[in-house]
C-alpha cells in the first residue's frame, strides 16, 4: 500500500509540475482520429477495473458468478457481480475491499497520461 501511495503521489506531482504541457496537449485527445484509441483504452481500463473487483472478491473467498456488459440507457455499462462480498465474516473490511479494489487497481495500474 505504501509503494502504491508513493507511486500515485509521484504521478500527481509530475502532473502538477508539468501542468502547462499537460493542459496544452489535452485538445489533441479530441480529434476524430483519436476516437478509436480512446474507445480501446476505455475498454481496457474499465475491464481492468471490473477484474479488480472480481479478483478481490475471490481472494476473500467469494464467488464471482458473472461479469459482463449491459446497455443502460443505450450506453455500455460493464459490471462484476461481487454480491458474495456481503456474506464475508468481516462485514466491514471485505465488502469495502471488494468495492475499493476497482478504483484502486484503476489508479495504480491504469495508463499514464504521459
* Model confidence pLDDT, tens digit, residues 3-40: 878 888 898 899 999 999 989 988 887 888 888 888 88
pTM of the model: 0.64
Q: Residue 87 pLDDT > 80, yes or no?
A: no
Arithmetic mean of pLDDT over the chain: 80
Q: Residue 113 pLDDT > 50, yes or no?
A: no
Higher pLDDT, 25 or 89: 25
User: What is the percent of the chain with per-residue pLDDT over 70, rounded to a whole number?
Assistant: 83
Higher pLDDT, 110 or 44: 44
Q: Which residues of 58-87 are buried (b: 16+ CB within 10 A; e: fewer)?
A: eebebebeeeeeeeeeeeeebebbbebbee
What is the mean pLDDT of the segment spanning 98-110?
69
Residue 110 Cα to chain centre, angstroms:
7
Q: Residue 106 pLDDT > 80, yes or no?
A: no
Distance CA 94, CA 3 (A): 21
Amino acid at each position: 500500500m505504501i509503494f502504491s501511495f508513493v507511486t500515485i503521489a509521484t504521478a500527481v506531482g509530475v502532473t502538477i509540475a508539468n501542468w502547462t504541457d499537460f493542459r496544452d496537449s489535452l485538445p489533441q485527445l479530441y480529434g476524430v482520429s483519436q476516437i478509436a484509441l480512446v474507445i480501446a483504452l476505455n475498454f481496457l481500463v474499465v475491464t481492468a477495473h471490473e477484474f479488480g473487483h472480481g479478483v478481490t472478491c475471490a481472494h476473500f473467498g467469494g464467488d464471482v458468478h458473472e461479469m459482463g456488459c449491459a446497455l443502460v440507457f443505450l450506453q455500455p455499462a460493464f459490471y462484476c457481480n461481487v454480491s458474495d462480498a456481503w456474506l464475508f465474516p468481516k462485514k466491514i473490511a471485505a465488502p469495502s475491499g471488494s468495492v475499493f479494489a476497482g478504483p484502486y487497481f484503476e489508479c495504480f495500474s491504469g495508463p499514464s497520461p504521459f
